[in-house]
Amino acid sequence: MVECRAIGFSVDSGDTLQEPVPARSTPVLSALLVALTATLVDVVGSAALLTKIEKSGVSLNISVNYLRPGKGGSTVKIVGEVVKIGRTVCSIEVAITEKDSGRLIAKGTHVKHILEAEPPFPRLDSVAEELTHRRNAVRNKTQKSRL
């Protein structure tokens, strides 16, 4: 599991993410959540692609349809699915649902141009393993220094 504590989400696998929805909403927070939703479509869509091929890409188009507001204090599940991988372009769909009820909150599409010139990225499970290894090493060092 990979965690990003700065914005409070965790990735269970290469293409599934869970994120808490704030309990209260303000106009500024609502605007941030809209931007965060589009960012999550980008991030989860890219992660989904990396689970299929070891190449990165650049976004050609990101589109999000906001279907209903997330319930305050609930957790949402974000799942990316690679629909098609062509020679130079791929298409990815991202669904954002309430974790408990499964109700669809937003649906995104992400189209990426696949880059051929750069070296391949490591698979996400390798990155997750490395991050876990580093985190455990830091924890062990911290525990030893307390003794």
Render pLDDT for 23-32 as a digit per residue (tens, 0 to 9): 555 444 455 5
Render pLDDT for 108-125 as a digit per residue (tens, 0 to 9): 999 999 987 655 555 666
Look at residue 11 and give its three-state secondary structure.
strand
Round to whole Å and give the CA distance between 45 and 59.
Answer: 10
Render pLDDT for 47-99 as a digit per residue (tens, 0 to 9): 888 888 888 789 999 999 988 877 667 778 888 899 999 999 999 999 988 88
Burial of 120 (0-12, 13-18, 19+ CB in 10 A): exposed
> Does residue 131 surpass a pLDDT of 80?
no
Look at residue 45 and give its three-state secondary structure.
helix
* Residue 51: both structure tokens together: 């689970």
